[in-house]
Amino acid sequence: MRYLPKSPADREALLKAIGARSIDDLFAPIPAEYRLQRDLKVPRQMAESEIVDWYRERSRENGDGYATFLGAGAYYHYRPVIIDSLISRGEFLTAYTPYQAEISQGTLQSIFEFQTMICELTGMEVANASMYDGSTAAAEAVMMAVRLTGRRSVVIAHSLHPEYREVLATYAWHQGMPLSAAPFTSTGRIDLKALEESINSDTACVLIQSPNFFGTIEDVAAIADIAHKRGALLVVSIAEAVSLGIIEPPRQADIIAMEAQSFGVPLGFGGPYCGVIATREQFVRQMPGRLVGQTTDKTGKRGFVLTLATREQHIRREKATSNICTNQALVALMANIFMTIYGKVGLRELAKQNLAKAAYAAQQFGKHAKVLFPSAPRFNEFVVQTSEDPYAVNARLLGHKIVGGLPLKKFYPELGNAALWCCTEMTTRTSIDTAVAMVAEGERSVRAGKEPETQGVAR
Amino acid sequence: MKHMTRKATRHVNQNEGLIFEKSSAGKAAWKLPPLDVPEVDTAKLLGAAERKDLGNMPEVSEIEIIRHFTRLSTWNYAIDLGMYPLGSCTMKYNPRVNEVVARLDGLANGHPYQPEKISQGALRILKTLSDCLIEITGMDAITLQPAAGAHGELTGLLIVRAYHQAKGNPRKKVLIPDSAHGTNPATAAMVGYSVENLKSNPKGMVDVAALAAQMDEDVAALMLTNPNTLGVFEQEINKIAEIMHAKGGLLYMDGANMNALVGKVRPGDFGVDVMHLNLHKTFSTPHGGGGPGSGPVAVKQTLEPFLPKPVVITKPDGTLAFEYNRPMSVGRVRAFYGNFGMFVRALAYILANGPDGLRQTTEDAVLNTNYIRKGLDGIYDLPYSTPTMHEVVFSDKLQQKKGVKTGDIAKRLIDYGFHPYTVSFPLIVHGALMIEPTESESKEEMDLFIEAMKSIAEEVQEDPQMVLDAPHSTRVSRLDEVAAARKPVLRWKPAS
């Protein structure tokens, strides 16, 4: 086996040194009746070339070469090539969690820079080293708010990513955290009056997303006022990190739970991604996850260490702020390098291109179908309502090697034939025009009273 | 240094500031293509929501970024540089083909919501990996959704709770041995269970009589690591499972130490009801400086209805699909389907090994550990003489007499060119040195390690202060962690 650095003679020498007759001696502690006397039924050992071929085949079966209008918490942005050059260095790739600070300064300093840039972008005072993803970061942020306020219940915007809501429900299930929903209005924004009525003296926090699941930017200041007036905290989830380049960050929030996938992390069929929690300095001791702090060595030289570990499971065990241990360090490094590449000016220009593409697309779709929630500002996503089933539109579009917007029936049946479309800097005008033509074709056919031609509806 | 160390010498180490200290207005490492749609008036579109300024975000060029991170990287120790004997962390070789296949376009750019019709490649990977892991663990069903080991524990205990709930009583407590990882009790607390500690016997194993006495109908599960954190296989595992099952409890296995078992014995065969795996330990996905991990949870058939949703199913026409209609499910524990990129890598590792390679891997891991144990026994105190599998735990009892503790020996090991072992864990051994070489070490590398540890033991006798002041060869000397925690500086700020 090519990964194992031993010859048969080496193995014999080791056994001899140990004083064992055969390798079986070393497995004697396992009761004989449980020892496996056969080969595992897994595929036979493969050559590297065979492995690469097998995966190339899987890659071809997986939408390779399709343009996409999908967003909804996972965004297709360009990844500058130096991200992979740098994270492929064995010193980053094959290092452990930086507990031994003297030989982990590379990882530690890069996390410190990551924390700094997340603070700059979110307007918060402290940020952690990462969480699993945006959904679990939101759930952990809510639990943090519960600890901070001593209150139990949570009000969640119905315009929060539906899968984030599901994760939160799972986490809340056994913790006695009652959850209630705050609806959205015809603007796509949260219903402020309903929100006000749903907050009571037991509400630990209000959790919203901005830009929300429909791409609409919430009036964070107004929501914060309502929450704070009743002693509740405001937690804001940000799923599309590139929005921070041109959208004012939710500075009025108490905790921000982010998904940094947009910052140079491949779509990768849903993961690994990079969650982050950012908050105010006064709340840092209730924050979950790892934190890197600056300090000095014996000679006064600047250095970095993992700090405030008394919050964490390996010290506090059942009294820890969270059970989180391994997080997303290498993915955070991707995000870190991405933020460094685009920086102060590039991130704004990148966000502006996203804004322009989505604005053009929404305007074009609007000529033939109904673009919902037109009055509030949005970033790079919007909802289009058609007369035709969006699955049918998408089936035709797939023939052009384009993946259409996400049909919303599963998550928001009340919106009817609606789909969530996303445009990034990667979306071409040609793709937009093709998609708009398909929608227009469907609308014409429906008006003419006949079904457009569809070759099997893919769901 | 008593002997000249053979593995490492000092090397030139570039100084490098923070990236913010290199920034100046007008430098750029990015270039966007021309916009193919009309420009927009951002003020008109966004109004008050428009952001005007990005604060202190850096402005640097591409070569500066390459040099910055390359220099930082040289300050890290890594498996690629040498042995990384962290106990319970399983720091094995991370094969490079794993990285290549994970970056193939269709896999790296696959959107989690793209139609299943054009997701068959990803679904096939999920299915094949699931089948392999079920076979390896001897369990009946699996979810790949949890993002890390601790997240797998959370999922596993949610399943335990849902199972008991479905029988009418969620129960109140979870039993956890005193040798367990800190994540175990932290997880139990998150699922609303109180934690009851279980004392180890003098051999370092579960005290079966104590377990029988403590087990009652309030106990939902026992969270057992097997082999445990001493590297000791729980020989009375059948009795342990019987005691749990007799009172309706479940046996949860923390699979952190699965590297001792793959291909040799299957948890499903020795009575485990639910367990998690760490793909970033046993199945070679890179640790990456602390993640991403992946923590699949495998269960017996009775627990299958409670798995998180969605699960992968095979449709009558042979294609694969996600199944969401699972009324008994504990729900979702993460958006989308889990850390897919890690599934690609773990499966590539399994394919590279095959059944013979997986078994040989386990045998080599156990062989290496026992070789190190033999080499250091007597030089360092071995608190438990019970046979060990994939890791061995010594104590600093002999060195303590000179005022040198496990943490000091660990720091001195750095000067010899090694990453330290796991320090002060498990908690049942005072001053623990926990060593796990994995299968990835050659005899030569282990001989260097043993030689280094012996040399340090001599140094402790002759010049303890030198060991207390270690490391001497690193870029920074011991860092002031107390100051870091007392007045936390968690971000860079411009000089005002």
pLDDT at A439 over 80: yes
Return the number of CB contacts < 8 Å for A and B: 688
The residue to which tokens 């901070």 are assigned: A148
Residue B57 lies in a domain: no
Domain range enclosing B234: 98-350
Q: How many domains does chain B have?
A: 2
CATH number at residue B280: 3.40.640.10
Report how far apart, in Å, the C-alpha atoms of A374 and of each of A247, A363, A371, B214, B365 are: 17, 10, 7, 63, 62
Q: Environment class of residue B176 by beta-carbon count within 10 Å: exposed (0-12), middle (13-18) or buried (19+)?
A: buried
CB contact under 8 A, A115 and B491: yes
Tell me the CA distances in angstroms from A397 to A421, A435, B151, one per residue in order: 13, 7, 38
Min Cα–Cα distance to chain B from A229, Å: 22
Distance from CA of A153 to the nearest CA of B (A): 16
- Residue identified by tokens 């870190």 is A336
The residue from B298, B328, B350 where one domain ends is B350
Contact B370, A18 (CB under 8 A): yes
Shortest CB distance from A270 goes to which of B94, B117, B337?
Answer: B337
Are B304 and B390 within one domain? no
Q: Give the right CATH number for A67-75+344-447 from 3.40.50.150, 3.90.950.20, 3.90.180.10, 3.90.1150.10.
A: 3.90.1150.10
Same domain flag for B346 and B388: no
Identity of the residue in B341, B442, B484 whose CB atom sits nearest the CB atom of A268: B341
Q: How far is B6 from chain A (nearest CA, A)?
A: 19
Residue B307 lies in a domain: yes
Residues 6+ apart with CB under 8 A from A32: none
Q: B376 to chain A nearest CA, in Å?
A: 11
Interface test with B, best of A15, A36, A102, A360 (most B CBs within 10 A): A102
Same domain, B339 and B391: no
Minimal CA–CA distance to B373: which of B87, B2, B177? B87
Q: A-contacting residues of B 368-407, CB under 8 Å? A: 368, 370-371, 374-375, 386-387, 389
- Distance, CA of A157 to CA of A449 (rounded, Å): 38
Give Dmax over CA atoms of chain B in angstroms: 77
Which residue among B187, B235, B375 places its CB closest to the CB of A323? B187
CATH of the domain at B449: 3.90.1150.10
Are B341 and B412 in the same domain? no
Residues B315 and B409 occupy one common structural domain: no
- Cβ of B42 within 8 Å of Cβ of A20? The answer is no
Query: What pLDDT does B393 receive?
Result: 98
Reported confidence tier of residue B4, pLDDT bands at 50, 70, 90: low
Pairwise CA distance, residues A221 & B10, whole Å = 55
Query: Given pLDDT bands bounded at 50, 70 and 90, which one contains residue A459?
Result: very low
Residue ranges of domains in chain A = 67-75+344-447, 82-339
Q: What is the pLDDT of residues B241-277, one digit of tens each?
A: 999 999 999 999 999 999 999 999 999 999 999 999 9
CA distance B270 to chain A (A): 6
Name the average pLDDT for chain B: 96
In this prediction, residue A453 has a pLDDT band, given cuts at 50, 70 and 90, of low
Chain A residues with CB-CB distance to B278 below 8 A: 326
Both B251 and B148 in one domain: the answer is: yes
Closest CA to A51 of B96, B362, B262, B358: B96
Claim to verify: residue B342 and residue B467 sit in the same structural domain: no
Q: Find the CB nearest B121 among A59, A88, A110.
A: A59
Is B491 a domain residue? no
The verdict on a CB contact (< 8 Å) between A103 and B191 is no
Residue B2 pLDDT more than 60? no
> Do residue B290 and residue B422 come from a single domain?
no
Dist CA B122 CA B342 (whole Å): 12
- Higher pLDDT among residues B340 and B3, named by residue: B340
Tell which B residues from 329 to 358 touch A, by Cβ distance under 8 Å.
330-342, 344, 348, 350-358
| Residue A308, Ramachandran bin (φ over 0: left; ψ between -120 and 50: alpha; else beta) | left
- Model confidence band, residue A458 (pLDDT cutoffs 50, 70, 90): very low
Whether the pLDDT of residue A433 is over 90: the answer is yes
Least confident of A152-156, A315-319, A394-398, B344-348: A315-319
Please state the rounded mean pLDDT for residues A294-308: 95
Residues B320 and B423 in one domain: no
Q: Is residue B207 in a domain?
A: yes
CB contact under 8 A, A328 and B104: no
The answer on B120 and B140 residing in a single domain is yes
A interface mutation test: which of B24, B66, B75 has the most A CBs within 10 A? B75
* Cis amide prior to A272 (ω within 30 degrees): yes
- B49 part of contact set with chain A, CB < 8 Å: yes
- Read off the pLDDT of each residue in B156-183 and give the average, rounded to a whole number: 95
Q: What is the mean pLDDT of residues A179-202?
A: 97
**Furthest CA-CA distance within chain A:** 87
Two structure tokens written together for A264:
């140079």
Q: Are B307 and B326 in contact (CB under 8 A)?
A: yes
Rounded percentage of chain A residues whose pLDDT exceeds 90 = 91
Cβ distance B111 to A82 less than 8 Å, yes or no, reads no
CB within 8 Å: A307 and B45 = no
* Confidence (pLDDT) at A456: 46
User: Which long-range contacts (C-beta less than 8 Å, at least 24 apart) are formed by A31-34?
Assistant: A31/B235, A31/B237, A31/B238, A31/B270, A34/B237, A34/B238, A34/B265, A34/B266, A34/B269, A34/B270
Please give the Cα distance from B311 to B145 (Å, whole number): 9
pLDDT at position B128: 98
The answer to whether residues B151 and B290 belong to one domain is yes
Contact A350 B32 (CB under 8 A): yes
Residue B443 lies in a domain: yes
**Nearest C-alpha of chain A: how many angstroms from B411?**
8
What's the pLDDT score for residue A310? Answer: 81
- A23, A106, A339 member nearest B72 (Cβ): A106
CA-nearest residue of chain B to A65?
A: B106
For residue B230, the chain A residues in CB contact (below 8 A) are none
Answer whether A51 sits within 8 Å of B352, measured CB to CB: yes
Rounded to 5°, the CA angle A205-A209-A215 comes to: 160
Is B45 among the domain residues? Answer: no
Give A-chain residues touching B60 at CB under 8 angstroms: 340, 343
The CA distance from B224 to B179, in Å, is 9
Give the C-alpha separation, B469 to B472, whole Å.
Answer: 7
Give the distance from residue B53's alpha carbon to the nearest chain A alpha carbon, in angstroms: 8
Structure confidence at residue A309 as a pLDDT band (50, 70, 90): confident
Whether the predicted pLDDT of A452 surpasses 80: no
Q: What is the CA angle B342-B343-B349, rounded to 5?
A: 90
Computed from CA positions of residues A297, A303, A309, A312, in that sequence, does the dihedral angle turn out positive or negative? Answer: negative
- Inter-chain CB proximity A270 and B109 less than 8 Å: no
Mean pLDDT of chain A: 95
**CA torsion through residues B492, B290, B80, B338, sign:** negative
Which residue among B51, B186, B363 sits closest to A323, beta carbon to beta carbon? B186
Look up tokens 């729980």; give the residue: B234
| Residue of B237, B335, B492 with shortest CB distance to A161 | B335
Pull the structure tokens for residue B392. Answer: 């061995």
How close does chain A come to B44, measured CA to CA in Å? 9
Task: Please state the rounded mean pLDDT for residues A357-374.
Answer: 97
Residue B22 falls inside a structural domain: no
* CATH number given to A82-339: 3.40.640.10
Sheet containing B297-299: order of strands: B141-143, B297-299, B274-276, B250-254, B219-225, B173-177, B194-198
- Choose the closest CB to A105 out of B111, B125, B475: B475
Amino acid at residue number B385: S
* Contact yes or no for B297/B130 (Cβ under 8 A): no
Give the chain B residue nearest A401 (alpha carbons). Answer: B118
B120/B167 same-domain check: yes
Domain contains B15: no
The pLDDT value recorded for residue A448 is 85
- pLDDT tens, position by position, A387-406: 999 999 999 999 999 999 99
Q: Do B335 and A135 touch (CB under 8 A)?
A: yes
A304: which chain B residues are within 8 Å (Cβ-Cβ)?
A: 479
CA A29 to chain centroid, in Å, comes to 44
In the predicted model, what is the mean pLDDT of residues B153-170? 97
